[in-house]
Structure 1
Amino acid sequence: MSETFWAALSAIATSAALWVIAWQAILTRKSVQIQAAVALDSARARLDSQAPDVVVQLEDPTWPPLAWSHMGLPVNPWPHGHIWHFPEREHERIVLQTEVVVRHFHSGHLEVTFDGDLVDDIDGRPRPARSVLLAGEDGEHRVLLYKDFTVKELAENYRAQQDRRPLPHCVQGTITVHDGRDNGVTDTWTLDLTGNPVQPHESRDGAWIVVPDHLTDGSGLRTLAYERRPARRRTYWISRQDGLELPAPQYTN
């Protein structure tokens, strides 16, 4: 046979060998990736088993909505049938609020921090909610998710709802809980309360009223949007102090 034939055969054999080596490398890499993902899953499961049991729940918002007061936390709703004439009274203010309950079933210490529109009732006045340290088995802490809006802003929410657009004005807050362990977890809940509690007056142009009760649909509370049990987002730490997060496992085909 010619030298050309043997040279071609040698090239084919070399190419096949390279493909085998490449395929083995791919299999090895996939095996390593799977092992790493399993290890991460196992580490997360361990942290889950050690994490404190905490529940965050929103109560039903206050209804009818309250009239804002410069004296402190509002205590009274707007009078039944009150009418806001625009533009003369469009800057009067309405409060949207609900009580938020943080319940824990944990024997150790928990640090709870608050951000956004979460307030404490301090001598009848709303103050940004302060971080608290919870201790002992089974307990709870309550704060208010609270914000005041002009009637004009809530009218904008109504128009957005009618146009099926996202509502532009919302009460928002964040609750973060951890037990202080460096190699532990941090749980975060994002809270939202919004809605369109006012509507145009049926027979008066440029006039707005609080949404009335309905014979079949219930109270005006139906116009407010919120999650009673908001979803929890959990962060897993290799070291909280050093800001090193445990990455999520990734399984590849």
Structure 2
Amino acid sequence: MLTPDWIDAFGAAVTLAVREVSATSLQTEATAEALNPTVTDWINAVSGALTFLAAVAAGLFAWRAAHWTKEQAKAADDQVTVAHAALALAQQEAQDARDEAAHQRSEARRATLRLEEARIDATMPTITVLTSEPLWPPVEPSIVGGDANPLPVGTASPVLHMPRDADRRIAVRMPVTIRNDSQQHVAIMPGGFLDSNSLTLGNRPTEIPPGQSVFGQVEANRSLGEWAEIYHARIDGDPGAEHVATIVYLGQGDTSANDTWTIMLGGTPVEPVPKLDGVWRIIEEVHRGDGGIAAMGGGARPRERIYFLSKSRNERLDDI
């Protein structure tokens, strides 16, 4: 293999020989004319050979230059590739660092929120909301006020006809107990409740002393036509319309919380009488042991608490 050092040595020797021959040719040019043709031819042959060698040396130098150019180009490409890889790595490391910083900020924010929530929790009273089984039988609300009339139920009861009785009102009530388990007075805001005298509590504050309870009822008051629609919806797998009532406690102070309990009462108390079109009756029991479509039930959902950093500015804690 022709190495760059060998090419350099060879080229230098050829160059030196060419120079010496050129000098000798100049000195002996006159003498050569006096010599016989054989000597002159010999000198010309030697000069031609040296010229050829000089051309070879020039070609080798050119090859070497071209070879070095390719090597330099490849080296440059390799450097570019390495640089691109280093840049990609640096960019990925920078992105990883940004992601980690964002994660740490998020964790710090979450920890701050949890600490503030715990501080607010310590100031909030403990309120317990309990529901009982719906009262049975259903009642027919009085149009003129006063006590509602219990309705007959079961197979022995009078039947209801559609559409004649479509607007007849049937109400199902479920008792609710609201207990103040804290050592402070609380004022709740009930919505969609009746008190123990079957009077609407409305959206006015109801005071509960420490350790005391108030009692109310959730009432689903619908027409026979509406109850029948719920029955058909339940056949198709839809729960149908449900009665919703709420209990709200507004925490004291600008930085505090609001609690909401949602009470649901669903199902239907009526069922069609078999083989009689348009004839309905009220089921005998609130729950059907046979898993029938007609049944009533309800309960309270878990309390929902909304934290406020400032109620006056309507600034929730999870907004910071």
> Which 4+ runs in 1 deviate beyond 6 A?
none
SS at match of 2:248: strand
1:92-131 equivalences in 2 (<5 Å): 92-115=168-191, 117-120=192-195, 125-126=199-200, 128-131=202-205
When normalised by structure 1's length, the TM-score is: 0.82
Cα 1:248–1:242 shift into 2, 3 Å: closer
Aligned equivalent of 1:140, options 207, 213, 236: 213
SS at match of 2:104: helix
For 1:238 and 1:104, the matched residues in 2 are separated by 25
SS at match of 1:204: coil
8 Å CA contact 2:257, 2:305 repeated in 1: yes
When normalised by structure 2's length, the TM-score is: 0.66
For 1:231 and 1:183, the matched residues in 2 are separated by 23
The equivalent of 1:31 in structure 2 is 104
Identity %: 22
Where does structure 1 lack aligned partners over 5 or more consecutive residues?
none
Name which structure has the greater RCO, CA cutoff 8 Å, separation 6+: 1
Cα 1:62–1:213 shift into 2, 3 Å: closer
8 Å CA contact 1:96, 1:146 repeated in 2: yes
For 2:177 and 2:301, the matched residues in 1 are separated by 12
**Paired letter, 1:119:** L
For 1:108 and 1:213, the matched residues in 2 are separated by 41
SS at match of 1:166: coil
For 1:12 and 1:207, the matched residues in 2 are separated by 81
Which structure carries more strand by proportion? 1
The equivalent of 1:207 in structure 2 is 279
2:308 is aligned with 1:237: yes
Alignment RMSD: 3.0
Where does structure 2 lack aligned partners over 5 or more consecutive residues?
1-70
Write the deviation string for residues 178-219 of structure 1: whole angstroms up to 9, x where unpaired: 3313222211111111212111123533211111249x829x
SS at match of 1:128: coil
**Paired letter, 1:245:** R
**Paired letter, 1:157:** I
Task: Determine which structure has more spread, i.e. the larger CA radius of gyration.
Answer: 2
Paired residues in the alignment total 242
